[in-house]
Structure 1
Amino acid sequence: MTQDEAILLLEYVAAACPAQRIGEHTPDVWGELFAPYALDEARTAVLVVARQQPFVAPADVITEIKARRAERIELANVVYDGDPLETGAESAASVRELIRAAADGLTGPSSIRASLGAGDRLALPPGADHGPYEGRAAAVRAAIGKMPADRAPGTDPRGRACRRCEAAPGSSCIIGGRRSRDVHPVRLEDTKRTAAGLPLLDHDQEQARIKAASAAALDLARDDQEQEVEAS
């Protein structure tokens, strides 16, 4: 994130939390704190934190960013086939870049790997085979291909917000006070209905219907029990 992007992030924070105090040097501090992260993922994290508390602290936002990156890495199931012609340092650099690409959301929730034929090597820019291996980053990402970072709301439950726990698109549901790999049933149902071209159900109305049906079933069971007592 650049310094200008840090200013945009703070404008986003100010809009979400109008009472939060932003001083003259706040953009400088936030710029340094969020330098390793992208603006888009920071803004998404701000939205999640702002839903839970009236003020947005950098530590809370960074914690949310790291949690989402770790989740994407886990879902990507990173696998690297390797190359018998590359050195151990080159293999380590390739694996690190695969993991970084997964954390950046460049892959979907499936196994990703660098697909290399027998004896093939990653195509690196001239001079990139030595030194700190800067060129391997671009080469590995080219090998796995860049996939859309956004999840499709019609096929992936995490592509839409959850109406139960208010998890933001791209984030997992909060179940039992913790982020979970599972999603709430209403989020899954919304995804299925979207894929089928059906309108979403009114969640409150559906819950009321279920409660009413349960109450009616309970009353019926009580009536049957009372009739059995009277008959005996």
Structure 2
Amino acid sequence: MTQDEAILLLEYVVAACPAQRVGEFTPDVWGELFAPYSLDEARAAVIVVAARQPFVAPADVITEVKARRAERIELAHVVYDGNPLETGAQSAASRRALITAAADGLLPPRTPAAALGTADRLALPPSTPGPYTNRVAAARAAVGQGIPTAREGVVNPRAIPCRKCQALPGTSCTVRGRRMRDVHPARLGDAKRRAAGLPPIDPAQDRVAEDRIRAATAALAAEDRTVPPASETTQEEPTS
């Protein structure tokens, strides 16, 4: 909020509370106190405070502003999946930017990812640019953070989709609706192949390999069941 906006806010307060005293330096003080906040959110807070008490103190307005910002952050359920190519400081800055965007009302309220169905998780906001336009992409676009893309020679599994859980690029793999700390082995394998310049694995061949492994495992289990225990195959030594 600028100094001129602080004067407008103070005039708004005086209009709501005519009995409130305003001194010569009151606009200067209000300008410093409300510098971190926007005029719109401060004015909305003044309406709430003035509706319940005859005078509007800056502390009461700031408390109301902070409460509404915390509420928007909670409703947005901010989740930053991260980027393996980021440093710790960059990741922390990206998360802070997302939280600030949520507090400013730039991120809409949403259901926690664990409660979302596949169709909702893959919703495509029409205003989000790029080929991967899911909710996380929209959030990162709001703070200037792009979806990670696959680069030649770099193994970044989150830069490609997961054929196991259908996770989109830039998002974490999930198991039964819960985010995984790591990615599915199939996604990691695909990322390694792409980094090496190899074509992706044919899903049909992948299924054939999985069926072959299952059949071999079943055959070994059946063989173990047909072999008698060692105690049954050991014969007693003849007694003299």
Return the TM-score normalized by structure 1: 0.50
Q: Larger Rg: 1 or 2?
A: 2
